Amino acid sequence: WTNVVSPQFATITEALGLGFAEDGLTGWTGVGINGQGSEVWKTTDGGQNWTSVWPDPDTKNPANLFLNAASQSRTSVVVTGVADHLYSTDGSKFQASINDFLSPAQDIEVLPNNAGFGLISYSNKFNGVATSKAGMQWTNVDMGLGANNTYYPARYGAFPTASTWYVSA
């Protein structure tokens, strides 16, 4: 283990989850900065230096609490949040998912064989995993607890194989 010292991280309030591409150098995190709001930051040097890639500098910074990030490659990434989830297909320009009713999503994982993303979340109609190829639109896979999603909301998951998935609730 080695500490990665980044001067940019001294300026933020929180960063809860990181997602790195297969190169080990390109990564993303959702950060919160008191008095400024939320941003998505990107690194291309293994975390030494970070730059803001969302929101656009001309856009008002919306309030969100980003919870995690996952990447299939240096261009395909999803950042989950309490208010909404963002995705990018080029690694720099982010947009909100179009059926963004899955909140909060504390965990996002890459599915085996880079088959897309598994978002672990719940809503009043769904509790389990939502899948998406790139993060734009999600398909629900309910874990079958029915009305118990109030007491056992899906929180974290692991996808060791295409046919074996684990979800904690």
Give tens-digit pLDDT for 111-155.
Answer: 999 999 999 988 777 888 999 999 999 998 888 876 666 778 888
> What's the predicted TM-score (pTM) here?
0.91
DSSP code string of 16-70: EEEEE-TTSS-EEEEEEETTTEEEEEEESSTTS--EEEES-TTS------EEEEE
Q: Which pLDDT does position 102 carry in this prediction? A: 66
Among 41-45, 56-60, 69-73, 134-138, name the one with the lowest average pLDDT: 56-60
